[in-house]
Amino acid sequence: MYTKEFFYRTRELKREKRALAATVYNRARILLYRSGEKALFVPIRSMQYLAVVDQEEIVFLDGAVSRSDIVLAWQNFRACERCALDQPVPYEAVYYTEDSLNAMPRIQSEFPHALQQMDEKERSASISEAKIVPLK
């Protein structure tokens, strides 16, 4: 069963150029691809945030405040500018709330952990799904 989610943006407060570690970018893209969906929902439980990864951007929602208002977005990823898969990916961070300005360092720290947990959970689930068929 699918549920359609709507997310809203307020006025942009600030935009800045940044670089995302290759391991984080690559893992987010791989998990999105493996999901087979248009978007990947990544709970950041330690912060009560939700990250939504799609082909164009990663948006962050503060679950303690609102489940539908985007507080921060990472946009305009330029993966083609890197020369190797292990190089950082340039992007733009767009801040929509004052709190997101202060939360950015923590999001940068907690988001990779949330992706890693999701990846490990997915891998362990796929391992446990293997079935042995007896030969007759």
Q: What pLDDT digit, counting tens, does each position of 57-103 carry?
A: 999 999 888 888 999 999 999 999 888 999 999 999 999 999 999 99
Coil, strand or helix at 34 = helix
Task: Work out the mean pLDDT of the chain and round it to a whole number.
Answer: 90
The answer to whether the Cα torsion of 12, 13, 16, 20 is positive or negative is negative
Question: Which fold is adopted by the domain 14-123?
Answer: TATA-Binding Protein (3.30.310)
Q: Residue 14 pairs with which residues in a beta bridge?
A: 95
Residue-level length of the chain: 136
Coil, strand or helix at 88 = coil
**Residue type for 25, please?**
Y
pLDDT for the residue numbered 126: 63
pTM: 0.86
Asked whether 104 and 94 are in contact (CB, 8 A), the reply is: no
What count of other Cβ atoms lies within 10 Å of the Cβ of residue 41? 13
Across the range 36-50, mean pLDDT stands at 93
Instruction: Report percent pLDDT > 90 for the chain.
Output: 74
pLDDT for the residue numbered 127: 60
Coil, strand or helix at 58 = strand
124 pLDDT band, cuts 50/70/90, is confident
128 pLDDT band, cuts 50/70/90, is low
Q: ∠ CA 73-5-20 to the nearest 5 degrees?
A: 25
